[in-house]
Structure 1
């Protein structure tokens, strides 16, 4: 096994920590440069209850170390495949989360309820899928503690620091290190050198700017702005009088824009002890989301309830009416689809429509894919970033298609493309008389096909345990998107479509 000296990881959140764990056996030293003070005493020594209390009170994010992650309090999901990768790297973490943090691990076969476009997925799945119910704030802290416990002598953290540029050899197109500046210091930047550099700073990465400045490389980018807005809060669940709704995570995503622009999600994150006999003993993270710039209110819970009653499924209103609000209503209005077509660097390549919940699992899959490249023991270090990006692009494309198919139908969609020469072209679906008129984007054929297929496939899931299970396996990234298009499945979708148009059924 070839062991290299030093790897520099820029960003110490989920992706950065997973990458550090994956590369621990291939580098003697690992340096994580993180913009926030994530090792401060408040976070590092807080009990699980104190951590969640910080979350619910939205305590000053600067004082608790996550001011750099604006969406830290929004709803997050670690899909089944992401949980599998996490458990593989941190075998003892699952028991700690269950026993010390009281997080929820539940079965989608027995405990979940998915309603998409009015179609209730069959509950009696042919295959069970485990889902980790946890808020991102707690997950990051638990992961960081476990990472320090397992690899503390190998990993150096440089916190409260921001990378400002790469140290690069332009003639060889190679980055040898990075310049970073400490937040609480007015001194000049510091240099750090490594054998391998990985950017894990998320969708707001500066790597595209660094590449242009240091190596004169321009990364093609596609951004899709579809007016996505979230309002997230933490609540205590109480009995509704309907046992089919109590104690279950419930999902009503908006998957049929523009006919249905609203959605809602309930993810159980903690079990608690309560003296109230009507309490379910569950804390949940709840999110209401809209697209097409249709904003739900976040000024008061009463106004939000009135809006939910008018715009969302009755079941969701019944649940929200029977809950106790435990945190402020937190809006998030910056969600976009962002694809960086990277060929020669390791970095953050995609940001997705958050209602698909792919991001954390996507980062886990990238980290695992990088480890697989090193596991082959046959590639020179200088070639690994290129090989990794070629393989990671397949993961990106799969998740990109799943995330953007519905977004292409948004009437207010704006698409911004940057080509390899740095030229920017803007497209927009529609515009009013007072706005700049941009040309309409050309929808790719594969997107048109998926829009048709997904609509009728979801009709089929309400009557098929097998198709419901396959759909949830794709959602959880256990399987690729195209498992939903096997010949027998495609035939069933076509049959359903034909029956509908021939008016042979209410379907």
Structure 2
């Protein structure tokens, strides 16, 4: 909290482990954290001074998707002639968290009390009233330290993808939350580096270069996103400090033992442009791996009034996604805004707010879930684990060592199959259309529902193009 901007940058680039700055358990603190369009707007509404401080005090980059982005989705380059500009805020998680906490303290002063270096261990409940009354917590540094009680009128679990709420609710209230987990072998290696000139001026002129995976044909992708502009006297430097993320699916993990080995892997698995850029990049940080990302959805809305009063899951605690689309933080911001609206409506009893929120928040999760999982279903070694409301668990796996029976064969849902075909056809049209590319980026930035891609005029154009290509009549 007391670190200066320069000290934060030094931490971000040079520490071997985030635990040394008090963020144990958050290895992805080194990961690029893009605040998508809608999430950026929500943060600006909540904290009017946030942009100014990030941009001017911490030198965080704010960039235009219309003029500064080259984006490949499923192997197809989106048309760069966008009809409307969209802004991204690119920040490393450590800087963003630190600045947000400072803003919270400034905005609410003595209304906030931080319990740092503490871990929640269980819930305090009233089973007869189906209420979560509080939590028990202890000091992180000492496993044998005594437990402390904390009570609250309304309790929010926003502890992220490793939330223990489903376990605690089962232990305390015998409540089983239906879940679906999709394991698609996601992993990535991230680091910070200074970009230098390549032999291709066109590449050097583009600050943001991104490519999603395109399973099963191409199971690796890359995000190169500027985080700060730096002063340099080296004429070959582009004056940009960038966060680079090499990500994969199907467990085809990039190495992190040395940059030389990573470059060899990039040369074999990514397009030559990425190898050219990264070969000329000077690395300033450790190569940080992360290999635990899955799609994980908790269907809290299906429990209705069985769900406890005064308690909710928010953001990744409710639903997590493939990180390559950068949906998580904006998803959480949208749900938080939705919760604020429920309180502002001032027409719900406190005991009903969790049920109202679960219904509305799940609709937000569904939009992000469709976008993420449609692509993840293409993974050759996909594994899905489903738990129903009775606690029965079934595992389904494709092309693995898992002994498949008739009951647990992995079948592609019809809606997903249709979406895969349609999105692939849509992207081919978008490669030639600035308007369609703009529509797609609006969906990705959660500024519009995925269903705007099915407007009658767009649907007709996509189907017509697909038919022309199918019969080789495109010429």
TM-score, normalised to structure 2, is 0.94
Separation in 1 of the partners of 2:164 and 2:75?
A: 41
Q: Partner residue of 1:80?
A: 37
Contact 2:182/2:296, CA 8 A, preserved across alignment: yes
Q: Partner residue of 1:460?
A: 429
Q: Counterpart of 1:263 in 2: which secondary structure? A: strand
Q: Partner residue of 1:33?
A: none
Q: Counterpart of 1:299 in 2: which secondary structure? A: coil
Please report how far the alpha carbon of residue 330 of structure 1 lies from its aligned counterpart in structure 2 after TM superposition: 1.1
Q: Partner residue of 1:11?
A: none
Q: Partner residue of 2:304?
A: none
Query: Relative to structure 2, which stretch is displaced further, 51-60 or 280-289?
Result: 51-60
Separation in 1 of the partners of 2:73 and 2:146?
A: 53
Separation in 2 of the partners of 1:212 and 1:389?
A: 18
Please report how far the alpha carbon of residue 62 of structure 1 lies from its aligned counterpart in structure 2 after TM superposition: 2.7
Q: What is the CA deviation profile of residues 441-487 of structure 1, one whole-angstrom value per residue up to 9, with x for unaligned ones?
A: 22222111110111111101110000000011111111111111111
Residues 21-60 of structure 1: matches in 2 within 5 Å? 44-60=1-17
Q: Counterpart of 1:335 in 2: which secondary structure? A: coil
Separation in 1 of the partners of 2:87 and 2:355?
A: 34
Out of 464, 469, 478, the position equivalent to 2:438 is: 469
Separation in 1 of the partners of 2:202 and 2:288?
A: 28
* 1:383 equivalent in alignment to 2:342: no
Separation in 1 of the partners of 2:217 and 2:460?
A: 26
Please report how far the alpha carbon of residue 290 of structure 1 lies from its aligned counterpart in structure 2 after TM superposition: 1.2
Residues 104-123 of structure 1: matches in 2 within 5 Å? 104-123=61-80
* 1:394 equivalent in alignment to 2:366: no
Separation in 2 of the partners of 1:153 and 1:386?
A: 30
Separation in 2 of the partners of 1:462 and 1:60?
A: 41
Contact 1:430/1:440, CA 8 A, preserved across alignment: no
Q: Counterpart of 1:409 in 2: which secondary structure? A: coil
Please report how far the alpha carbon of residue 59 of structure 1 lies from its aligned counterpart in structure 2 after TM superposition: 4.3
Change (3 A) 1:59 1:152: farther
Residues 67-466 of structure 1: matches in 2 within 5 Å? 67-185=24-142, 186-246=144-204, 247-254=206-213, 256-343=214-301, 344=307, 345-347=311-313, 348-432=317-401, 435-437=402-404, 439-466=408-435
Separation in 2 of the partners of 1:306 and 1:179?
A: 49
Separation in 2 of the partners of 1:467 and 1:213?
A: 49
Query: Relative to structure 2, which stretch is displaced further, 54-63 or 261-270?
Result: 54-63
Separation in 2 of the partners of 1:480 and 1:147?
A: 30
Contact 2:16/2:286, CA 8 A, preserved across alignment: no
Contact 2:18/2:29, CA 8 A, preserved across alignment: no
Q: What is the CA deviation profile of residues 173-230 of structure 1, one whole-angstrom value per residue up to 9, with x for unaligned ones?
A: 1111111112245342111111111101011101111111111111001001011110
Q: Partner residue of 1:6?
A: none
Query: Relative to structure 2, which stretch is displaced further, 435-444 or 334-343?
Result: 435-444
Separation in 2 of the partners of 1:430 and 1:241?
A: 42
Q: Counterpart of 1:115 in 2: which secondary structure? A: strand
Separation in 1 of the partners of 2:277 and 2:346?
A: 53
Separation in 2 of the partners of 1:259 and 1:184?
A: 46
Where structure 2 has 5 or more consecutive residues not aligned to the other structure, the ranges are 302-306
Separation in 2 of the partners of 1:62 and 1:263?
A: 28
Contact 2:32/2:90, CA 8 A, preserved across alignment: no
Please report how far the alpha carbon of residue 280 of structure 1 lies from its aligned counterpart in structure 2 after TM superposition: 1.1
Separation in 1 of the partners of 2:327 and 2:267?
A: 28
Instruction: Number of aligned residue pairs: give it.
Output: 460
Separation in 2 of the partners of 1:300 and 1:399?
A: 35
Where structure 1 has 5 or more consecutive residues not aligned to the other structure, the ranges are 1-43
Separation in 2 of the partners of 1:102 and 1:75?
A: 15
Query: Relative to structure 2, which stretch is displaced further, 482-491 or 298-307?
Result: 298-307
Change (3 A) 1:269 1:58: same
Separation in 1 of the partners of 2:187 and 2:19?
A: 24
Q: Counterpart of 1:297 in 2: which secondary structure? A: coil
* 1:480 equivalent in alignment to 2:449: yes
